[in-house]
Amino acid sequence: MNMNPDEELRIGLLSISDRASQGVYEDQGIPALREWFANALRSPWRMETRLIADDQAMIEKTLIELVDTVGCQLVLTTGGTGPAARDVTPEATLAVADKVMPGFGEEMRRISLNFVPTAILSRQVGVIRGQALILNLPGQPKSIRETLEGVKAADGTVLANGIFAAVPYCIDLIGGPYIETFDAVIKAFRPKSARRPGPAV
C-alpha cells in the first residue's frame, strides 16, 4: 500500500442516460452524489463529472479516461444497470476491469431489496481498474443514498451497512488516499491495524 494521508481523493461521477444526455430531462444522479459526498466526507476530495448516453463503447472510453487520464481513485456510475436492451453499464464496466469485486453488487441488491422487489433486476457490479474502484449505482437519488448509507431504523440504528462503509479500506488496499467520513452519515470500517489516529479535537 502506498497511502498519503494528505492526498486528495479524486472521484469520477458518470451518469449514463440517453434522455438526460439529450436534454430531455435533467440528470439527477450527479447532483445527488455531489450532495452526498459533501455531507459524508471529512477528508479532502474533488470530483470530475460526465453525462453520456447508453452506449457501451462510450461508457468504456469514459471510464478509462476518468481512471487512466484524470486519475480518479473512485468512479461511480448511475443508470443503465437493468435488463433492458440499452442497459449496458455492467458490460462496459466489466470490459475495463482488472479485477471483479462481486461483494459490492451483491450488497447493493440486498440493500435495495429492503425497499423494492424489483431490485433483483439490477445487474450492478463493482470492479478494480489499476488503482481505482469503479461501482455501478442506481439512478434515483433516494436509491443512491440508501445504497451508500444502508438501512437505518427511525432512531438511527444501522440495520444494514451501506456499501460505502467498505470503500475507504478498499481504496487503502489498492494504493489510494486515506478517506475519512462523518460517522453520522456513514462510518468507514477498517481493521484496527489499518486505522490512523483521528484529528485533534
Measured between alpha carbons, how far is 161 from 106 in angstroms, rounded to an integer?
Answer: 13
pLDDT of residue 28: 83
Superfamily of domain 9-187: MoaB/Mog-like domain (3.40.980.10)
Mean pLDDT of 87-98: 97
Residue bearing cell 479485477: 99
- pLDDT at residue 22, as a whole number: 67
Residues 128, 99 contacting (CB under 8 angstroms): yes
User: How many CA atoms lie within 13 Å of 112's alpha carbon, on the beta-carbon side?
Assistant: 25
Instruction: Note the pLDDT of residue 52.
Output: 93
Task: Check the CA dihedral 3-133-190-40 and report its sign.
Answer: positive
- pLDDT tens digits, one per residue of 128-141: 999 999 999 988 88
Based on its alpha-carbon atoms, the radius of gyration of the chain, rounded to whole angstroms, reads: 16
Residue type, 83: P
At residue 159, the pLDDT reads 80
What mean pLDDT value characterizes the chain? 91
Per-domain boundaries in the chain: 9-187
Counting every residue written for the chain, the total comes to 201
Instruction: Tell me which amino acid residue 25 is.
Output: Y
pLDDT of 112 strictly over 80 = yes
For residue 6, the model assigns a pLDDT of 54
Which residue in the block uniquely carries the three cell numbers 443512491?
A: 144
Residue 139: how many CA atoms within 13 Å on its side-chain side?
A: 18
Residue reference for cell 437493468: 82
| C-beta of residue 54 within 8 angstroms of C-beta of residue 86 | yes
Q: What is the mean pLDDT of residues 56-71?
A: 98
Tell whether the model's pLDDT for residue 3 goes beyond 70.
no
**C-alpha cell belonging to residue 67:** 481512471
Q: What is the pLDDT at residue 48? A: 97
Interacting residues of 197 by C-beta distance below 8 A, sequence separation 6+: none
Backbone angles phi, psi at 106, to 5 degrees: -60, -45
φ, ψ of residue 46 to 5 degrees: the values are: -145, 165
Asked if pLDDT for residue 200 goes beyond 50, the answer is: no
pLDDT band of residue 115 (cuts 50, 70, 90) is: confident
pLDDT (tens digit per residue) in 22-42: 665 678 889 999 999 999 999
Per-residue model confidence as pLDDT tens digits over 150-182 = 887 888 777 888 999 999 999 999 999 999 999
Buried b (16+ CB within 10 A) or exposed e, 73-86: bbbbbbbbbbeeee
